[in-house]
Structure 1
């Protein structure tokens, strides 16, 4: 059995304050007996202040793949597998990135592939989806908008991922604001994508998201763990906190695929 935790929390530009919050969430996840913790996108250094018109002179701080900041998070993680988002500095390019690590080192990396139009002015797009092995099982990672596209999670599932970690800084709707968070279009889509990606691939989806406000954005929270039947096993709703679920991941996936195994029944030669 594995305990899996998804975090909903707010992270801003103050890196040291953010690291303190990461440390506290890691300790809370460890106290809950978790073996895997997924933190939101941009937990190190915060997200864009304005998603519609990013200011090129006010972007989040960027860190190289081997920056000491990454080592500090790995030391906090210890025997816990942690997925965390940050802005990656790669010379002339910046990426909205995620890293999966523990005290033993880095297990996997991901650069956000699907960039909304305005975000493309701040980041370069990644170019691949790849699963990797960790002490918590074989994982893959998605960032924000990546999960809107079925092919993203499908590529990871085909590559053997049994767990997909979705790290988000996902706000409420700009164009169709609702009086209540539960009625917000983006709130509905955020949950829909989490459950659909799990059910269509018969995998576990661990979805973390930011909370609070930044610039003109209000983040949804709604962290959750979703089982391979698309069933929500634990969630935070719109508040900060941890969604923790305990499950036997291989057994749950085997049960979901016992009669209908979606990956075995794919017919890619017919898809355009």
Structure 2
């Protein structure tokens, strides 16, 4: 039996001017995860700071320091012998653009994969550059097998998952910054918890329809400010394995029996069908 222990860290980032404090709490959680025997630690999207409009514009300048934080996570992964997905980082590049990027760092400190968010949430679009059609979704080899990275609103696009599993991804990791208030006034009037229903349904559906493990790590924060939490992990057959029921900061270590994926594929044959040259939906081979 192949079992991976995944530490899901629902971090609650403080004000934008507290990036170093947020980083230190993230480091502390990763150390705790390694001590507990976790193979992988996952943080949320924008875990160092919220880049939403209305916050201090000076936060953009601090995005120039992203490489320093990434290097710290690489060194920590090697020191603690644990793989790390440090949520996502807002990266300010030389041309003045900011991208929303996620990394998979293995237990030797090596970067095994990088992904720039394609499907930007609407408030991001004025100041974050999408990778759009510049590159494909790419699955990559890790000590935990073939892995794919997506970010937050990508969860709403089945096509992204399909592209990854067609390359053999068995685990898809989704750092997120997702709140109940994302439904807007109209959605909240219909159902104040609609975004929670959205996340719960999508995470489980993506696991079943792709015979893969889905690790969704959301940001935490005060519930009165619309934070949802709801970090969770799902697999086919068994559905949701673990879920944060509050928006409080914390960490949970979840054991994933990866043999379930082979059993599910044996029955559903999703990957087998997608690999057929004349597959009738015409996904890229």
Taking the aligned partners of 1:152 and 1:201, their CA distance within structure 2 comes to 11
**RMSD (Å), alpha carbons:** 2.6
Partner residue, 2:144: 136
Partner residue, 2:76: 76
1:228 equivalent to 2:231? Answer no
Partner residue, 2:115: 110
Partner residue, 1:29: 33
Taking the aligned partners of 2:281 and 2:171, their CA distance within structure 1 comes to 27
| 8 Å CA contact 1:211, 1:218 repeated in 2 | no
How far 1:259 moved relative to its partner? 1.9
Taking the aligned partners of 1:15 and 1:57, their CA distance within structure 2 comes to 12
How far 1:137 moved relative to its partner? 1.8
Taking the aligned partners of 1:243 and 1:178, their CA distance within structure 2 comes to 32
Taking the aligned partners of 1:230 and 1:178, their CA distance within structure 2 comes to 33
Taking the aligned partners of 1:16 and 1:194, their CA distance within structure 2 comes to 31
Partner residue, 1:5: 7
| 8 Å CA contact 1:59, 1:122 repeated in 2 | no
| 8 Å CA contact 1:196, 1:230 repeated in 2 | no
Taking the aligned partners of 1:64 and 1:20, their CA distance within structure 2 comes to 15
Using the TM superposition, name which of 118-127 and 158-167 deviates more.
118-127
What is the DSSP-based 3-state SS (H/G/I as helix, E as strand, rest coil) of the residue aligned with 2:204?
A: helix
What is the DSSP-based 3-state SS (H/G/I as helix, E as strand, rest coil) of the residue aligned with 2:271?
A: coil
C-alpha change, 1:111 and 1:100, in structure 2 (3 Å) is same
| 8 Å CA contact 1:195, 1:230 repeated in 2 | no
Partner residue, 2:102: 98
How far 1:244 moved relative to its partner? 2.2
Partner residue, 2:188: 177
How far 1:177 moved relative to its partner? 2.8
**Matched pairs, number:** 264
Matching of residues 113-192 of structure 1 within 5 Å: 113-127=118-132, 128-173=136-181, 174-175=184-185, 176-177=187-188, 184-192=193-201
Taking the aligned partners of 2:154 and 2:261, their CA distance within structure 1 comes to 23
| 8 Å CA contact 2:7, 2:254 repeated in 1 | yes
How far 1:41 moved relative to its partner? 0.4
How far 1:60 moved relative to its partner? 7.3
How far 1:190 moved relative to its partner? 1.2
How far 1:97 moved relative to its partner? 1.1
| 8 Å CA contact 2:151, 2:174 repeated in 1 | yes
Answer 1 or 2: which has greater strand percent. 1
Partner residue, 2:63: 62
Unaligned runs of 5+ in 2: none
| 8 Å CA contact 2:212, 2:235 repeated in 1 | yes
Unaligned runs of 5+ in 1: none
TM-score by length of 2: 0.84
TM-score by length of 1: 0.87
